[in-house]
Amino acid sequence: MTETAAQRLRGERERVGKSQRALADLAKINKNTQLAYENGTSPITLDYLAKVAVFGIDADYVASGHRGVSDRRTPYGAPPVEQGDTVEVAMSDVSYGMGGAYVDDDTSQTSIERFPRSFIRQFTKGPFAQLYFATGIGDSMQPTIHHNDLVLIDRSQQALRLSDQLWAVHASSIGMIKRVRVLPGGSVLLVSDNPDVSDYPVGQDELHLIGRVVAVVKRL
């Protein structure tokens, strides 16, 4: 019987010797959320995996069920290798857009590709270990992002400093890419570039920033 992501998370937590409360505190979530992740009643988010990976959890194994022969499979493992003028950046097949982006799907995969340092540095000064490419799906962000365009996400950026920037977010347990607009009074509006798609407000407690979208790579 194939293990679920919830079962793998529980096993990883036990392997690193953390209680549910201890791991929840490290990830800055409440114990009930940790319990829901391990019971399979709530989808495990990318933001959560990125946080617990720092404390020894094999996030790639939790997400995909596969342990690579090296750390080259996951954006959450060891720091990327830098060789001369090239650097390693993760390529994830997680998709963001109109639909969900749940990491408890056993088909999710990551790989590592090499890019010229100067190419990546055009878009961000963030640590290479905090960067990854993902795919935009749907038409809600056209003409900025078209279906199947690649987006470069910088997970080191976690603060809303300017309104209307592009962010990969989880809102109400759904992964998406939207412009995040902070309204008077502190409420937040998720804005689509496609004028045919309605914007909608979310509470700050519902919004979880995964990282800022710093580049869009078009497919021809």
Question: Which tokens in the block code for residue 84?
Answer: 């001369």
176 burial level (CB within 10 Å; 0-12, 13-18, 19+): buried
pLDDT at position 83, please? 58
pLDDT at position 106, please? 42
Question: Which tokens in the block code for residue 186?
Answer: 């502190």
Whole-angstrom CA distances from 40 to 3, 4, 59, 208, 218 are 11, 8, 16, 20, 36
Q: Is this prediction's pTM over 0.85?
A: no
Q: Residues 119, 133: contact at Cβ < 8 Å?
A: no
Chain center to CA of 86: 23
Domains and CATH numbers, the chain: 1-71 (1.10.260.40), 79-220 (2.10.109.10)
Q: Residues 36, 43: contact at Cβ < 8 Å?
A: no
Give the Cα-Cα-Cα angle 45, 137, 128 (nearest 5 degrees): 55
Q: Residues 121, 174: contact at Cβ < 8 Å?
A: no
What is residue 149's three-state secondary structure?
coil
pLDDT at position 85, please? 85
Please list the rounded mean pLDDT of every run of 10 residues in the chain (220 residues): 80 83 89 92 87 81 66 44 75 63 47 89 90 87 90 87 88 82 86 91 80 88
26 Cβ partners below 8 Å, 6+ apart?
18, 51, 52, 55
Q: Residues 77, 62: contact at Cβ < 8 Å?
A: no
pLDDT at position 73, please? 38
